[in-house]
Structure 1
Amino acid sequence: MSQASTPAPAEGPWAPLREPDFRALWLAILAGNIGTWIHDVAAAWVMAETTRSPLMVAAVQAATTLPVVVLAVIAGTLADIVDRRRYLIVAQLWMFAAATVLALLAHFDRLGPWGLVALTFLLGCGAAMAMPAQQATTPELVPRRLLGQAVALGSLSMNIARAIGPALGGLIVAQAGAGWAFAINAVSFLGVAVVLARWKRNAATAALPPEHFGAALRAGLRYARQATVLQAVLIKAAGFFFFASALTALLPIVVKQELGASAGTYGLLLGCIGAGAILGAIGLPRVRRRLDGDRLVALATFVYAGCMLAMALLRDVRLLYPLAVLNGLAWISVLSSLQIAAQISVPAWVRARALSLYIVVFSAGMAAGSLGWGAIAQHWGSDRALTIAAGGAAVAALALRRFRLGAAAQLDTAPSGHWPQPLPLAEIAGERGPVLVTIEYTVRLDRRGEFLELMASLGRSRRRDGAIAWSVVEDTTAPGVYLEYFVGSSWLEHLRLHERVTEDERSLQQRIAGLLEPDSRPLVRHFVGGPPGAPVAQPELDGGRAV
């Protein structure tokens, strides 16, 4: 699948589908998402029919999401350092095998409650390993100018599946049995694997060798510790998904026990939620022109909480269908706002790892919430559990207002390439280190306070990109002369830092340069550790640009 293709005549929301490779994988993933929803309906209904236990029904959803909590960060790291096409094919074949066993056991009436949970857990492991790689693949399938539309179409795919899959799943379970529902899910994984096998991936050639797994994992976690905008996304996500999980976990119990309705009714309610999400995805661009991300998330959270409260109190199924549509509108408004902020707040080199952290928070919230609300419902009833969750969602929305998503839109994380490559007089082995970089600045005396504020921001970016230590100090004998220094673990890791610098960091360094004494330039030196007799780099001037 190539990134280059004939430009679309119009850059509308459907423009990425004119890219043949993106379109093929988008359609395959849509079919796979529909299969997953068919499985979810069948699994939840089989468990509700077999055990009548809210906790066991919630355990099915937890079995899907708990593997993501454990494996997503590992998967995100692998997705940044291995061939994503082969990696995704293996994940799809794993899920195909697990779904096939599930279908055969159901057909032969040998599927017990714990067997269902175990096989659903194996499916969840495959999904956990595939998610970060699948999301990080999008920039390889479309030109950069269409990336926003492609991400939106990915969200739309999930919600089209959410509208079609549950209703179809309820119909299949009611008419043909759960075994056929599980079999259709298995075939959907095989379809995605076939499309991936036909993908002629043209991966960008890296100047540096790929990171080792341990170093890549540490780099991703280090980046997240210093990325304040990404942290705001993760905190808001945790505050919403934990309480929002109550509705998806307890809806089968509400339909089965409180309403006395069938699997078809359950599927239709989920279909209405999906239809509301589709309507929301289509209408959100207009809404975003009037509301920023933070206001939209807060408003949608209150709407979602109101829908949960109504589901707890109302017992007329005819009233629940329009509420389900409204619930879907609120859900997609929150979900898409968080996903967009997570995507644009990080640079490409660490995107899969950052997205894996978002996926972990999402899944941990859904899994912990499912089990917690299931336990509450088992002791005090589903209506009380939904009421508590609704109140908690509203309180969390108010408590987390200070964490802002709007800053993500102001970031420019594109690689700037403005740092010159260091030119040592002799070749330096990549594993040699540590590396100490010093930059000397001569700052105007009346601008020292502003300089230190900007340097604090620069220090965070140095640490995000790979520095294991950073500081800035002032010369006691020459006020206004400052020395910035930072340390990298090896020469190779220092070269990676050169590749990771972004346009935001270029802008920050230009602002710092504007505070220096006229005609003064930062003086940059590189020092490298290593065994005696190893080649040593010479001091380097970078022409006024700090590195």
Structure 2
Amino acid sequence: MSFTSSRDVFTLAVARGVSLLGDFMATTALVLALQERGASGTVVAALFAAAVLPQVVLVPLAGRLVDRADSRALLTVTGLAQAACCAAMAFVDSTWLLVGLVALLGAGLTITMPTFSALLPEMAGPAGVGRAMAIGQTANSLGSLAGPALAGVLVGAFGLRVPLLVDAATYLAVAGAGLLLRTRRRGEREVASRGTPEWRIRDDRLLVSSLALLGAIVLALNVFVVVGVFYLRGVLGASPAEYGLVDAAWMLGLLLGGWLGALRPRPDGPTARLLAAAFLATALAVLAAGLVTRLWMVYPLWLLGGLMNGVDNTLLGVLAVRRVPAAVRGAYFARLGAVVNAANLVGFAAGGALVDQFAPRAIVIGCGLTGLLAAVIFGVPLVSASSAADSSRTGRSSPRSPSPASSRSAP
């Protein structure tokens, strides 16, 4: 593989995969524990909201920090702090104190996630970005796949404490990556970029349209994250282990979808159109899941939804690497995370309000229908922007007017 640093690509993938294993295991364990304690949908929604709220409100600070500070220091210090925070959660009984500690973990993710994302293009090089993202997506999916299933087993056998302690240990992988990665961002690009015109995302129609579609779909579909435990366990009769396995089916799809999205590099226009189609298919999978009568029917639908989700993740990353200047990638990835998490936050709040008022099946069907509507409304501007990208690429292909931008759009 033609990576600038193969060792760093795999080190980063392992660190993120191990960390995600712990995150998904802890989240699933917390949801199961709260549901077994008789917690309302509002409490479950508050838990998810606490995880993402810092990743919305702290974005301006995090973006500047990621682009200006030494990446090694950021990953090492933040990883150690998260490990200590998660270890403390294992010995806390108060529901609302747990919610507060989850918010602290979310603050750490506001720093580590864009740091990892901004490092990856430099580790992989322009020719290897797609494959590197697929490798990272594979590690993420394996961790996410094992986490929910393992949580169901551990909660049933040991309760909440053991999964939280395991999660604390996995944050050490983030700190270890900070020490082991040879590729570093030290803020030199911030200084080097001062002599060039300021890059603004609003000037790139394709990226703006893709972020709008992403936010709309996440908002529409993530209501299911709150109502899912009530639908799968209360309506379809899933056990704790089966609930974890349903999540695992989505993560398996993510794993496969990450490679599917990286199989054949495409110019920016076709990539954006494929992105819109994959979002539409994801919404269809959620809608169909609301119509099933047996738990086993959810598994293939969740596999399909995860597959399309994996394609989306890879394509969004490829578009960002091609079109965002290296000096501001940390800020861009922090902003992308803010769009996702702001949509998550609204979706979680809506889920918490709806689950106490309506039947879980009706909410799931509503999620799917709203997702389809969002895919159509926000997909049209993305397709239009992709056509403009095709035209612009044709103009750049002239041998008399070479441009650095043309290499970003080359297949």
Using the size of structure 1 for normalisation, the TM-score is 0.66
SS at structure 1 position matched to 2:200: helix
C-alpha offsets along residues 299-321 of structure 1, whole Å, 9 cap, x if unaligned?
33333223222332323112112
Q: Equivalent residue for 1:174?
A: 156
Distance 2:99 2:65 in 1: 27
Q: 1:251 aligns with which of 228, 235, 240?
A: 228
Q: 2:259 aligns with which of 246, 266, 282?
A: 282
Q: 1:321 aligns with which of 299, 319, 329?
A: 299
SS at structure 2 position matched to 1:302: helix
Q: Equivalent residue for 1:226?
A: 203
Q: Equivalent residue for 1:130?
A: 112
- Taking the TM superposition and a 5 Å limit, the aligned residue runs for 1:64-103 are 64-103=51-90
Distance 1:259 1:46 in 2: 19
- Taking the TM superposition and a 5 Å limit, the aligned residue runs for 1:181-220 are 181-201=163-183, 206=188, 209=191
Q: Which residues of structure 1 form unaligned runs of 5+? A: 1-7, 106-110, 413-501, 507-547
Percent of aligned positions with the same letter in both sequences? 26
Q: 2:404 aligns with which of 498, 503, 510?
A: 503
Q: Equivalent residue for 1:379?
A: 357
Give the aligned residue type for 2:11: A
Distance 1:257 1:380 in 2: 13
Distance 1:344 1:276 in 2: 25
The CA deviation at 1:327 is: 1.7
**Are the aligned partners of 1:344 and 1:411 in contact in 2 as well (CA < 8 Å)?**
no
Distance 1:278 1:505 in 2: 30
Q: Equivalent residue for 2:397?
A: none
**Are the aligned partners of 2:148 and 2:247 in contact in 1 as well (CA < 8 Å)?**
yes
Q: Equivalent residue for 1:121?
A: 103
- Taking the TM superposition and a 5 Å limit, the aligned residue runs for 1:524-543 are none
- The question of 1:300 aligning with 2:278 is answered yes
Distance 1:295 1:505, change over 3 A: closer
Q: Equivalent residue for 1:150?
A: 132
Give the aligned residue type for 1:325: L
- Taking the TM superposition and a 5 Å limit, the aligned residue runs for 1:412-451 are none
Q: Equivalent residue for 2:32?
A: 45
Q: Which residues of structure 2 form unaligned runs of 5+? A: 394-402
SS at structure 1 position matched to 2:293: coil
Q: 1:367 aligns with which of 345, 358, 362?
A: 345
Distance 1:61 1:380 in 2: 20
Q: Which has the higher strand share?
A: 1
**Are the aligned partners of 1:38 and 1:166 in contact in 2 as well (CA < 8 Å)?**
yes
Distance 1:206 1:117 in 2: 38
Give the aligned residue type for 2:106: G
SS at structure 2 position matched to 1:51: coil
**Are the aligned partners of 1:25 and 1:196 in contact in 2 as well (CA < 8 Å)?**
no
**Are the aligned partners of 2:17 and 2:144 in contact in 1 as well (CA < 8 Å)?**
no
- The question of 1:22 aligning with 2:1 is answered no
- The question of 1:60 aligning with 2:38 is answered no
The CA deviation at 1:88 is: 1.4
- The question of 1:272 aligning with 2:249 is answered yes
- The question of 1:164 aligning with 2:143 is answered no
Give the aligned residue type for 2:228: L
Q: Which has the larger radius of gyration?
A: 1
65-74 or 280-289: bigger deviation = 280-289
Give the aligned residue type for 1:316: R
**Are the aligned partners of 2:13 and 2:136 in contact in 1 as well (CA < 8 Å)?**
yes
277-286 or 351-360: bigger deviation = 277-286
The CA deviation at 1:204 is: 7.4
The CA deviation at 1:36 is: 0.8
The CA deviation at 1:27 is: 1.2
Distance 1:166 1:207 in 2: 39
SS at structure 2 position matched to 1:380: coil
The CA deviation at 1:125 is: 1.0
C-alpha offsets along residues 94-128 of structure 1, whole Å, 9 cap, x if unaligned?
211110001122xxxxx222122111111111111
**Are the aligned partners of 2:254 and 2:309 in contact in 1 as well (CA < 8 Å)?**
yes
C-alpha offsets along residues 370-423 of structure 1, whole Å, 9 cap, x if unaligned?
1112211211122222222211111111112122463668989xxxxxxxxxxx
Distance 1:147 1:286, change over 3 A: closer
**Are the aligned partners of 2:138 and 2:256 in contact in 1 as well (CA < 8 Å)?**
no
Distance 2:234 2:171 in 1: 33
- The question of 1:402 aligning with 2:381 is answered yes
Q: 1:236 aligns with which of 213, 217, 233?
A: 213
**Are the aligned partners of 1:41 and 1:166 in contact in 2 as well (CA < 8 Å)?**
yes
Distance 1:410 1:162, change over 3 A: farther
Q: Equivalent residue for 2:399?
A: none
The CA deviation at 1:330 is: 2.3
Distance 1:394 1:207 in 2: 41
95-104 or 202-211: bigger deviation = 202-211
Give the aligned residue type for 1:149: R
Give the aligned residue type for 1:304: T
C-alpha offsets along residues 14-67 of structure 1, whole Å, 9 cap, x if unaligned?
x68x72233223212211111111111111111212234122212221111111
Q: Equivalent residue for 1:427?
A: none
SS at structure 2 position matched to 1:188: helix
The CA deviation at 1:138 is: 1.4
Distance 1:201 1:350 in 2: 17
Distance 1:410 1:253 in 2: 48
Q: 1:331 aligns with which of 286, 295, 309?
A: 309
Distance 1:300 1:200 in 2: 35
SS at structure 2 position matched to 1:292: helix
Distance 1:402 1:94, change over 3 A: same
**Are the aligned partners of 2:259 and 2:311 in contact in 1 as well (CA < 8 Å)?**
no
Distance 1:316 1:244 in 2: 21
Q: Which has the higher helix share?
A: 2
**Are the aligned partners of 2:201 and 2:208 in contact in 1 as well (CA < 8 Å)?**
yes
